[in-house]
Structure 1
Amino acid sequence: MRNVIVALDAMGGDFGPKVTVPAAIQALSLFPELKIILTGDRNSIKSCLLFSGYQSNTRLSIEHTKIVVSDSKRPSLALRSSVGSSMEMAINLVSSNLANACVSGGNTGALMALSCFRLKLLPGLERPALVSALPTKLRKKTWMLDLGANVSSDAESLFQFAIMGSALAEQHLRRSARVAILNVGVEEIKGNNLVKRCSEMLSKSKLVNFIGYIEGNQLLYDVADVIVCDGFVGNICLKVCEGTAKLFIDKLKNNVINSSIKGWIAKKLFSELFDELRALNPDRYNGASFLGLRGVVIKSHGKADVSAIVNAIGEAVYEVQEQVSTCIRDRLKAVLLERKK
């Protein structure tokens, strides 16, 4: 098993070291091949380590800085104020080969801008894409991109998103990934010029298992393994899915689990159903990847709890060990060769 060093932005997200530090400790216990570098305020980090009762060892270290990128700033302003920040420090560790991956719950726009500036895009790529797994029926997954790295995209960018998403999904699935475009209907005549043009491009490629269009009500029904859309649509869909899942989980807790006798009987009768509903918890799928970079960068949800950040770290470990960036680079190179024929 290949050793992996993850640079974790300890100050990123809404809760900072209060959740990132215990998440790092838990991740180290789950992944024996893992080392973590925490970037951020040394005193705050050490205080949380002490509170957790953690005994320091060579698998965890701290890179000190008190500068934090604000979540409220626009990407351009956040980028200018990120010099020396915990986020920049984590990305620089990857660019200088002192870490294999960066995980941060900080400002998404700043994280993307810093990652593109420091790590650079893969050859032939126009834009990066933010991708994450969504739960589907029978506890399977589908990968959706873009989730907000690009508010608007052209057909070529969507085509490249499909290539990258397919390469990532196939590393997980160990088989050909079914790729679909999110549209307002499944018929060929439906949709705007953007999705129609992308559909034409994907249909011509032998390197993608393109199955056509899907609608929003099919997102979680295991119809496709990779779902392609622009970042504006993708981010809205992601938030709707997260909100719906949280609504179900909250109702489950409030109306059944938290009531004594009724809850006990319901749990006995419908235990499998409850497990299925819990599987919809978006925290279990925390950790969106910036695809298209010359390195692994994982964006954690800003409100992520300890278990959610552990999942994000786990995704970073997986992508490093499976050499996802290299797989995407090779797939993009193959597409360029296909087009020249």
Structure 2
Amino acid sequence: MTPRIAIDAMGGDVGVPVMLAGAAMARHRHDGLQFLLVGDEKQIVAALDKHPNLRAASEILHTDQVVTGDDKPSQALRKSKNSSMGLAIQAVKSGECGAAVSSGNTGALMAMAKLALRTMPGIDRPALAALLPTLGNNDVVMLDLGANTDCDANNLVQFAVMGAAYARTALGLESPRVRLLNIGTEELKGTDEIRDAAAILKAGRNLPFTFDGFTEGDKISRGDVDVIVCDGFSGNIALKTIEGTARFVTDLLRNAFTSSVRSKIGFLISKPATELLRHHLDPNNHNGAVFLGLNGVVLKSHGSANEKGVSNAIHVAANLVKKDITRQVTDNLLLFAARDKGQTE
């Protein structure tokens, strides 16, 4: 079954032009993909003139209310019934669409999605998860990236279960390797919450993932782990540091290759390698973070993402719907609950 995706057309730094260009690009990638475009009808119709392939596959739901980047979650919730972001999420709740994609305010999106879709049984808090590039054969799933600043051991364990399900769905891994982000790999390192979560995960048996202990921040991109679990405070700092480092390396290379005639000649010689590096560091190639643990699929696209980034976020959403990520997480939770029951009997 081809998924139908609700697009918050008004979100992001640019809004309608980029969101619709990304949707059009995604439809070229997924033939038959259908869309519900939520936002100002006049702007959407004007943008659709440039994308005839998208126009034929889309329905417009008009609203002139928009959640801004400055809106606090409490303010956004008051707009949930009529804003483009809120209506996109409501379309998932009603079953009209399989997923919602927005480039808008992250805190508002989280608050609205949690209120409308509720958390799954066995999950206390949803987590924001994304795929990050590595030197290995696969990307790495990292969560939480900012939805929960404070987490206890049970939250971290639930994130591990959800992250493993995401890795199997998005990366096709039968038994993902899961580690907790810590300040060291020794068993005595870290907070009580991290050590307690590690103890719970180590006791797990017959689970569809392997717990490999701790990993440090400098190992995130090495490719020797499939799922990295942390609280949202640490995860968001790690993510922003990775993004900043990528921009630093890109700018450093640009400055170096334009500093002299000899450098420019060197750039021409090494251009294939630098283009590969640029592609690998481009955040648009890994855009799209999902709120795991909700009764529905909601994707957060980066506010500054271009059409390629929006397209990738929609691609992730479509695959998660096709592969039924909600059922995957539910199955993992049932297995973990069975393990707990077996230990207490």
After TM superposition, is the score higher than 0.5?
Answer: yes
Whether 2:39 is the aligned partner of 1:40: answer yes
C-alpha contact (below 8 Å) 1:139/1:276 kept by paired residues: no
Which residue does 1:312 correspond to in 2?
313
Runs of 4+ off more than 4 Å: 257-262
1:253 is aligned to 254
Residues 53/128 of structure 1: CA separation in 2 closer, same or farther (3 Å cut): closer
How far off its partner does 1:317 sit?
0.7
Are the aligned partners of 2:24 and 2:51 in contact in 1 as well (CA < 8 Å)? no
CA distance in 2: counterparts of 1:302 and 1:14, whole angstroms = 5
**Is residue 290 from structure 1 mapped to residue 291 from structure 2 by the alignment?**
yes
- Structure 1, unaligned runs of 5 or more: none
User: C-alpha offsets along residues 263-283 of structure 1, whole Å, 9 cap, x if unaligned?
Assistant: 454343362354034212111
Letter aligned with residue 212 of structure 2: I
Q: Which moved more, 1:278-287 or 1:151-160?
A: 278-287
**RMSD over aligned Cα atoms:** 1.8
Q: Which residue of structure 2 lines up, in the alignment, with residue 134 of structure 1?
A: 132
- Contact 2:142 2:227 (C-alpha < 8 Å) held by counterparts: yes
Partner of residue 85 from structure 1, selected from 83, 86, 98: 83
Q: CA deviation at 1:192?
A: 1.0
Per the alignment, residue 14 of structure 1 pairs with 13
What is the alpha-carbon distance in structure 2 between the residues aligned to residue 56 and residue 202 of structure 1? 45
Matched residues, number:
339
Cα displacement string for residues 220-243 of structure 1 (whole angstroms, at most 9, x for unaligned residues)? 101211001000000010011011
Which sits farther off after the overlay, 263-272 or 84-93?
263-272
Q: What is residue 238 of structure 2 aligned with on the other side? A: 237
1:307 CA drift (Å): 0.7
Give, as a single letter, the amino acid of the residue that structure 2 aligns with 1:132.
Answer: A
Does the residue aligned with 1:113 lie in a helix, a strand or coil? helix
User: Normalising by structure 2, what TM-score?
Assistant: 0.93
Alpha-carbon distance, 1:76 to partner: 1.7
Distance 2:40 2:261 in 1: 44
In structure 2, runs of 5+ residues without a counterpart are none
Helix, strand or coil at the partner of 1:136: coil
- Structure-2 separation of matches of 1:255 and 1:200: 48
Given the two structures, how large is their TM-score scaled by the length of structure 1? 0.94
Residues 317, 261 of structure 1: CA spacing in aligned structure 2 closer, same or farther, 3 A cutoff?
Answer: farther
Shift of 1:195: 0.4
Counterparts in 2 of 1:257 and 1:179: CA distance versus 1, 3 Å = farther
Q: What secondary structure is seen at the aligned counterpart in 2 of 1:126?
A: coil
> Structure 2 CA distance, aligned partners of 1:295 and 1:229?
23
Per-residue CA deviation, residues 128-177 of structure 1 (Å, 9 max, x unaligned), is: 00000111114631111000111111110000000000111022233211
Mean alpha-carbon deviation: is it higher for 260-269 or for 196-205? 260-269
Q: Quick check: 1:249–1:278 contact (8 Å CA) kept in 2?
A: no
Task: Give, as a single letter, the amino acid of the residue that structure 1 aligns with 2:330.
Answer: R
